[in-house]
Structure 1
Amino acid sequence: MGHVKLLATSTSPPCSRIVWALKLKGVQYEYIEEDLAKKSPFLLQCNPVHKKVPVLVLVHDEKPIAESFIILEYIDDTWEGYPLLPVDPYQRAMARFWAKFVDEKCLLGVWQACCAQVEEQEKAVESALETLKILEKQIEGKKFFGGEKIGFLDIVVGWIPFWLNALEEVGGMKLLDAESLPLLYEWSQKVISYFQFGRNYMLSLAADK
């Protein structure tokens, strides 16, 4: 396998997913911090359709891969070692289903609650909390969404322990605590130690720019 580059930004949950996946797989790569306010010619060349990060670039073959879910599956299919998706076809399908739910319902709902006007925020917070409660049911009786080990869905949901507190503070709201979402709260505490190294790595690289 040729040299790998990752075009990303340290403030992006989808980008962090790729960092975590590469670390779990033990893949060596070059991290390139992108300024989305002034996108580099290399990023525009690698992702001319959406013009956004993350992008994984296989330098030897000159093959760029965009979109975080697609990149995650490519990483899992390409590199042996730590499995991200379940082996069972049904479980794989369910992981993909809930990953899409997380991005289209949970993450979007939290963002809308954070940005809502004062008179609309209570309703937006209730809606976001409802989607998080639906997600929480998927971890009932399990240590992680992936079972006994962190898997594909844990990586996708990894924005919760690292970015939700900031969104709550900015939006003047509270969604995740031991009372309202006990299982999801417990999961978030366990997963932090697994993912902290990836986020710290990205932030350190961004600080050096």
Structure 2
Amino acid sequence: MAEVKLFGNWGSPFSCRIEIALKLKGVEYEFIEEDVYNDNKSPLLLKYNPVHKKIPVLLHNGKPICESVVILEYIDETWEGPSILPKDPYERAMARFWTRFLEEKCFPAMKQASWSTGEEQEKAKEEATELLKILEGTLSGKKFFGGDSIGIVDIVANFIAHWFIILQEITGLELLTQEKFPKLGQWLDDYLSCSIIKENLPPKDKLTASFQARIQAATTSK
């Protein structure tokens, strides 16, 4: 059997993406927990990802693959099982386009809206709202971003489904609601009701406590 190891962190949406993909494919792996928040990264992580020095890193037969979206594509091309990317070249290109949109546009804006304050936060909220409107439009007539089954765009969007929703509850931010975005709201329900997704997301109470501690630390340091 191929040796597969994943260097990640229990609360990271990025390493969670990889766990979901491996579970969808039925690949057995060893999870190696990294302490990424206290600048206490292991020598092995620094060895296998010397460029970015961050998680996730997938180690397959001793060979490291870095960057979560790159790893997702590698998993899809390496192992049999449900397809993560579409087979059709055009649909595959579109899936890559939307993963970039999530990575480069949505994630930074939603992160900024969650963690900033004042005028900076208001600007980020406006930007995030416009980006969510675009995502809402892509779901017309579809259960998931990739169609009838979970694909790479859904997996990359996992930070919206779990992490961002929890942050909204903690901070009182009402950016993504069922009333404002009914299609995204339905996607959330369908995505989170999938057993593999549900079983591999960080526990809500543990993630909530982690976020609250970070908010408290940020407030104290001001």
Could you say whether these structures have the same fold, taking a TM-score greater than 0.5 normalized by the shorter chain as the test? yes
Q: Distance in 2 between matches of 1:121 and 1:44?
A: 34
Query: 2:50 maps to which residue?
Result: 48
Query: 2:213 maps to which residue?
Result: none
RMSD of aligned C-alpha atoms?
A: 1.7
Q: Distance in 2 between matches of 1:85 and 1:109?
A: 25
Q: Distance in 2 between matches of 1:126 and 1:155?
A: 25
Q: Distance in 1 between matches of 2:113 and 2:137?
A: 21
Give the TM-score normalised by the residue count of structure 1. Answer: 0.91
SS at match of 1:32: strand
Matched-pair contact (CA < 8 Å) for 1:114–1:172:
no
Structure 1, 191-200 or 143-152: larger mean CA deviation:
191-200
Q: How does 1:21-170 map to 2 (within 5 A)?
A: 21-36=21-36, 37=38, 38-58=40-60, 60=61, 62-170=62-170
SS at match of 1:147: coil
State the shift of 1:185 in Å: 0.8
SS at match of 1:199: coil
Q: Distance in 2 between matches of 1:29 and 1:148?
A: 27
Residue ranges of structure 1 left out of the alignment (5+ in a row): 205-209
Q: Distance in 1 between matches of 2:202 and 2:13?
A: 13
Residue ranges of structure 2 left out of the alignment (5+ in a row): 207-222
Give the TM-score normalised by the residue count of structure 2. Answer: 0.86
**Structure 1 vs Structure 2: percent identity of aligned residues?**
53
Query: 2:209 maps to which residue?
Result: none
State the shift of 1:200 in Å: 4.6
State the shift of 1:193 in Å: 2.2
State the shift of 1:9 in Å: 0.5
Answer 1 or 2: higher relative contact order, Cα 8 Å, separation at least 6: 1
Matched-pair contact (CA < 8 Å) for 2:10–2:202:
no
State the shift of 1:12 in Å: 1.2
Matched-pair contact (CA < 8 Å) for 1:43–1:51:
yes
Matched-pair contact (CA < 8 Å) for 2:106–2:131:
yes
State the shift of 1:125 in Å: 0.9
